[in-house]
Amino acid sequence: MKSIVLAPAKGGRGFEPKLTGSDLPRPEEGEVTVSMRACGLCGTDLEKIKGEYTASTPVIGHEAVGVVAELGPEVAGLSVGDRVFPHHHVPDYTCYLCRAGNETMCDRYRGSNLVPGGFSEVFLVPKWNVDRGGVLKLPEGMSFEVASLVEPLACCIRAVRKCHVEPGESVLIAGAGPVGMMHALLLAPTSSKVLVSDVSEWRLRFAEKAGVGRVVDAASEDVPREVRAETDGRGADVAMVASGSRAAILQGLKSVRKGGRVCVFGVPPKGSVLEYDFSDLYNAEQEVQTSYGATETDTKAAVRVLESRGGEFAPLVTHRFPLEGFGEALEAASSGTAMKVVVTP
């Protein structure tokens, strides 16, 4: 069995991805093994490799989908051959934080993971995840490529829900990468105005071709001014910051109207410090909300969206590489001229 695993980088920060061979995992009681068919390469995977991601342990590959290969004893509701999306992190749904609606902050949420990770020909789904509904069957006819978007789309759905984005509101999406485009595709049908900003000419042209809304070049245009020009001088109702850059966060803060909301969705690298006059935030009665991860409420919603609108989201997958080409996949994902990069067995 071939897998991509992380080893500490020699003499420096971060990790080095390596292709390794090992015996097939065998599921024990309550566990499931899945034969991977596609796994998206996430921006957080890149940050983990660089040593910049602080939210969880350095296991990469969490946007995986595939076919159930083997069931351990006492697994109900699944069969060998089922096409599935297995969620890598699952909360306990019973603790104080879960009951308060902060399920992704549950102490158990980040403790579960796919073993050895989604970039593997076959991986194991822990009993914890299986018992709590973390393995979803995929609809017939949904391609594995489209299904590999379930996890990141679920995270976007959670962010939209947490920020209470309502139909008819105007939205700035700061960052036209894969998750920025997912936000744009989600919100364009119901928003009064969607604006998408980025500094990458390639991504801006991609967003323009997708027809999701007004495209703003953050490298050459004053984004807050353009947003106000498109919203009768008010500013956007909501800014979804789909980038971890400090400049994008500041852009969001300066682009929303009085009483508007800013969602910090992209992951700021470790050590990020933002210089901003807090009195401006207070005097404009603006809200800042962060959003991390997703739950099965969100993954189920993502499956429904992709079942009905998969054709709109499918073009987000622009590059495909086999496990042996993982280094090339990393280069493509870091190039600025790719949207979603998917790895296959």
5-53 tens-digit pLDDT: 998 888 777 899 999 999 999 999 999 999 999 999 999 999 889 888 7
Total Cβ atoms within 10 A of residue 290: 14
State the first-to-last Cα distance of the chain, in angstroms, to the nearest integer.
10
- CA dist 51 and 30 (Å) reads 33
Whether 79 and 186 map to the same domain: the answer is: no
> What is the per-residue pLDDT for 11?
72
User: Could you tell me the sign of the dihedral formed by the alpha carbons of 11, 266, 95, 73, in that order?
Assistant: negative
Range of the structural domain that residue 13 is part of: 2-151+293-344
Whether 49 and 95 map to the same domain: the answer is: yes
> What is the per-residue pLDDT for 276?
94
> In the predicted model, what is the mean pLDDT of residues 263-288?
94
> What is the per-residue pLDDT for 25?
94
Q: How many domains does the chain have?
A: 2
Whether 300 and 283 map to the same domain: the answer is: no
Asked if residue 310 has pLDDT above 80, the reply is yes
Asked if residue 270 has pLDDT above 90, the reply is no
> In the predicted model, what is the mean pLDDT of residues 64-76?
98
> What is the per-residue pLDDT for 55?
59
> What is the per-residue pLDDT for 10?
82
Report the percentage of the chain scoring pLDDT > 90. 91
Going by pLDDT thresholds of 50, 70 and 90, the confidence category of residue 331 is very high
Q: Is residue 159 part of a domain?
A: no
Tens of pLDDT, residues 161-181:
999 999 999 999 999 999 999
Residue 235, SS3 per DSSP: coil
Q: Which of 47-61, 109-123, 263-277, 319-333 has the lowest mean pLDDT?
A: 47-61
> What is the per-residue pLDDT for 7?
87
Q: Phi/psi of residue 289, each to 5°?
A: -125, 135
Q: Which of 47-61, 206-220, 252-266, 308-322 has the lowest mean pLDDT?
A: 47-61
> What is the per-residue pLDDT for 53?
76
Whether 140 and 34 map to the same domain: the answer is: yes
Whether 109 and 178 map to the same domain: the answer is: no
Q: Is residue 157 part of a domain?
A: no
- CA dist 249 and 275 (Å) reads 11
Asked if residue 144 has pLDDT above 80, the reply is yes
**Are the beta carbons of 284 and 278 closer than 8 angstroms?**
no
Q: How much is the mean pLDDT over the chain?
A: 96
**Strands 63-71 and 83-86, sheet pairing:** antiparallel
Tens of pLDDT, residues 85-135:
999 999 999 999 999 999 999 999 998 899 999 999 999 999 999 999 999
Tens of pLDDT, residues 212-244:
999 999 999 999 999 999 999 999 999 999 999
Whether 196 and 146 map to the same domain: the answer is: no
Whether 109 and 130 map to the same domain: the answer is: yes
Whether 6 and 108 map to the same domain: the answer is: yes
Whether 15 and 111 map to the same domain: the answer is: yes
CATH number, domain of 223, equals 3.40.50.720
**Chosen domain end from 274, 290, 306:** 290
> In the predicted model, what is the mean pLDDT of residues 51-68?
85
Query: Cis omega (within 30 of 0) on the bond before 224?
Result: no
> What is the per-residue pLDDT for 330?
97
Asked if residue 142 has pLDDT above 80, the reply is yes
Q: Is residue 96 part of a domain?
A: yes
* CA-wise closest residue to 205 among 193, 195, 194, 217: 217
Whether 21 and 133 map to the same domain: the answer is: yes
> What is the per-residue pLDDT for 56?
60
> What is the per-residue pLDDT for 57?
64
Whether 135 and 189 map to the same domain: the answer is: no
Going by pLDDT thresholds of 50, 70 and 90, the confidence category of residue 54 is low
Asked if residue 3 has pLDDT above 80, the reply is yes
Q: Which of 4-8, 184-188, 207-211 has the lowest mean pLDDT?
A: 4-8
Whether 12 and 100 map to the same domain: the answer is: yes
